[in-house]
């Protein structure tokens, strides 16, 4: 039987390179780092975040913002999302957009024991909040861990023997805590375990840059609120 495997989890970076750099500086030693999608969108540094994720993460699944860089009009009813996607489309190179488009919807890690997905495993774009975690075990086949993002709400809970983990959002938390979120899971023991982490970063610097590039004021304001 193999020894413990430590997997770092990040999600919903959303083009916030200041928060991403803070997370990477705080990340404890792990065997691999995995990104649960939405590398771009909302914030001002899509290309820088994409390159850091591509460099540091062993694998990355595709989030809904990653998937819609080429079709921002789908989010026209959401000013902040629409503006962030248009900004990403303008700032990313063709190879970078191709890389985002080629990310898979779901992956398995550590054999097949860890399922990695951006949103709900079998219902694309569905949000999974802590109260919804009980619906996950029937969707994960042989996995004992399901890692997902999308809600920007950090949690870890065990349902019917399956550890369900959302590391929270790196670049735009929405759980009332404005600090960047990430998580580390450890497999190989009697039962997989998750440790949730938060780290502060220079929110004012991000807000200033949001204003400088013409993104919506509300995109900047919500960072300080964690909403």
Strands 32-35 and 155-159: unpaired
Tokens of 141: 């086949």
The pLDDT profile of the chain, 227 residues, written as one tens digit per residue, is 467 899 999 999 999 999 999 999 999 999 999 999 999 999 999 999 999 999 999 999 999 999 999 999 999 999 999 999 999 999 999 999 999 999 999 999 988 899 999 999 999 999 999 999 999 999 998 899 999 999 999 999 999 999 999 999 999 999 999 999 999 999 987 899 999 999 999 999 999 999 999 999 999 999 999 99
Q: What is the pTM of this model?
A: 0.95
> How far is residue 107's CA from residue 111's CA, in Å, rounded to a whole number?
10
Domains and CATH numbers, the chain: 5-225 (3.60.21.10)
For residue 124, the model assigns a pLDDT of 95
pLDDT of res. 25: 98
pLDDT at 2: 60
How confident is the model at residue 141, as a pLDDT? 87
Do the Cβ atoms of 126 and 120 come closer than 8 Å? yes
At residue 1, the pLDDT reads 47
Q: What is the pLDDT of residue 111?
A: 82
* pLDDT value for 114: 96
- Cβ neighbours, 10 Å, residue 212: 9
Residue 226: C-alpha distances to residues 49, 170, 172, 174 (Å): 20, 11, 7, 5
Nearest-angstrom CA–CA distance, 174 and 210: 18
CA–CA dist 48, 36 (Å, integer): 17
DSSP class of residue 117 equals E
């Amino acid at each position: 039987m193999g020894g413990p495997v430590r997997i770092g989890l990040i999600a919903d970076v959303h083009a916030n390179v200041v928060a991403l750099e803070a997370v990477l500086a705080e990340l404890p030693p792990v065997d691999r780092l995995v990104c649960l999608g939405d590398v771009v969108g909302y914030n001002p540094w899509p290309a820088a975040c994409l390159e850091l994720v591509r460099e540091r993460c062993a694998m990355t699944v595709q989030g809904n913002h990653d998937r819609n860089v080429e079709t921002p009009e789908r989010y026209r009813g959401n000013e902040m999302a629409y503006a962030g996607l248009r900004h990403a489309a303008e700032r990313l190179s063709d190879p970078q957009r191709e890389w985002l488009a080629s990310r898979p919807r779901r992956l398995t890690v550590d054999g097949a024991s860890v399922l990695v997905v951006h949103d709900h495993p079998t219902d694309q774009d569905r949000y999974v909040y802590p109260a919804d975690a009980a619906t996950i075990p029937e969707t994960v086949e042989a996995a004992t861990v399901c890692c997902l993002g999308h809600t920007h709400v950090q949690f870890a809970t065990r349902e019917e023997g399956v550890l369900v983990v959302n590391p929270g959002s790196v670049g735009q938390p929405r759980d009332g805590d404005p600090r960047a979120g990430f998580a580390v899971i450890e497999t190989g023991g009697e039962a997989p375990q998750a440790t949730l982490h938060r780290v502060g970063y220079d929110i004012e610097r991000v807000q200033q840059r949001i204003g400088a590039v013409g993104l919506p004021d509300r995109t900047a304001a919500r960072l300080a609120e964690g909403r």
